[in-house]
Chains A and B, each alone.
Chain A
Amino acid sequence: MNELIYTVAFYIFAAITVAAAFGVVTKSNLVHSALLLALCFIGVSGLYVLLQADFLAAVQILIYNGAIAIVFVLGTMLTRRSSRHGTNDTEVNIPSRVVTLVSGLFVVVTLGVIATTPWHYSSGVIVEDTPSLLAQLILTDYMVVMEAAAVLLLAAMIGAIVLAKGVEE
């Protein structure tokens, strides 16, 4: 019974994710794309829950939906142009068909590789209490990486302000 619920939940979240992602690249209105992107992030966070990454599911909702999707909607509305074309058109010419073909080919090749690779599944015990173990790892083994990420975020923040606002020379 649990197995069945897990399977159904997986297919629901996978369908939400893929359909929303498809909508993001096919909708011709950029606001619709941004909102579908938020839906896609929610689907991905559901997949994280199924993968027993509860902390990352929460982080996904907080950062991607709370910050990134909002920034996209904001950016869309601040850069809107009144034109007869849609705001998020797709190129329709010969190179774009080639691009579609390449993307389709990428899926086929990747799925082939996934299907033929002999994966070495581990039967180890699954970590139940992820947030505390993640905190422990980040503050011990991955300390330097965390500091680098902090510096990166600071640099990105300053850079974003300088780029968007400009500086007095």
Chain B
Amino acid sequence: MIGLVHFLTVAAIVFAIGLYGVLSKRTIVGILMSIELMLNAVNINLIAFSRFITPEVLTGQIFAIFTITVAAAEVAVGMAMIFRVYYDRNTVHAARLDEMRW
């Protein structure tokens, strides 16, 4: 019997993989991809809770829709920033973009 716990487990694993990617990738494109993984894990959680805890209302699915909206906006702006940084600095390596480091 597949229940809430199974879906939450998958989401937790995907979130941790995304967390690892955000903290360890060298290029900012890879970091952005890992952020998408984390957002997807959150969406799985929201929909699983909506299905198993409150199946008669769709609040979780509404939340997931807005999460997807924000994720799409985030990717658009993030990729634009990456293009800009690449145009100006000619690199997408996070370690070389350290002008603002104190």
Contacts and interface: CB of A to CB of B under 8 A. Distances in A.
A102 B65 CA distance: 30
A160 B72 CA distance: 11
Interface residues of A, number: 85
Given A6-B2, A51-B7, A56-B65, A124 B36 contact: no
29 contacts: A21-B14, A25-B25, A47-B10, A47-B44, A51-B7, A55-B61, A59-B68, A60-B68, A71-B75, A81-B91, A88-B30, A96-B23, A100-B20, A103-B16, A103-B23, A104-B16, A111-B12, A114-B9, A119-B52, A125-B56, A130-B61, A133-B58, A137-B62, A138-B62, A145-B66, A156-B73, A156-B74, A160-B79, A164-B84
B92 to A, nearest CB: 5
State which size class the interface on B falls in: 35 or more
A53 B83 contact: no
A69 B36 CA distance: 10
A68 B75 contact: yes
Given A75-B82, A119-B52, A153-B73, A30 B27 contact: yes
Interface of B: 1-10, 12-21, 23-27, 29-30, 32-34, 36-37, 40, 43-44, 47-48, 50-58, 61-62, 64-66, 68-77, 79-84, 86, 91-92
Contacts of B13: 18, 21, 107
Interface residues of A, dominant DSSP: helix
Interface in A142-160: 142, 145, 149, 152-153, 155-157, 159-160
Given A64-B68, A88-B25, 12 more contacts: A30-B29, A41-B40, A88-B29, A102-B23, A106-B15, A114-B8, A121-B52, A145-B62, A156-B72, A156-B76, A163-B80, A163-B84
Interface of A: 3, 6-7, 10, 14, 17-18, 21-22, 24-25, 30, 33-34, 37, 40-41, 44, 47-48, 50-53, 55-56, 59-60, 63-64, 67-68, 71-72, 74-76, 78-79, 81, 87-91, 96, 99-100, 102-104, 106-107, 110-111, 114-115, 119-122, 124-127, 130, 133-134, 137-138, 142, 145, 149, 152-153, 155-157, 159-164, 166
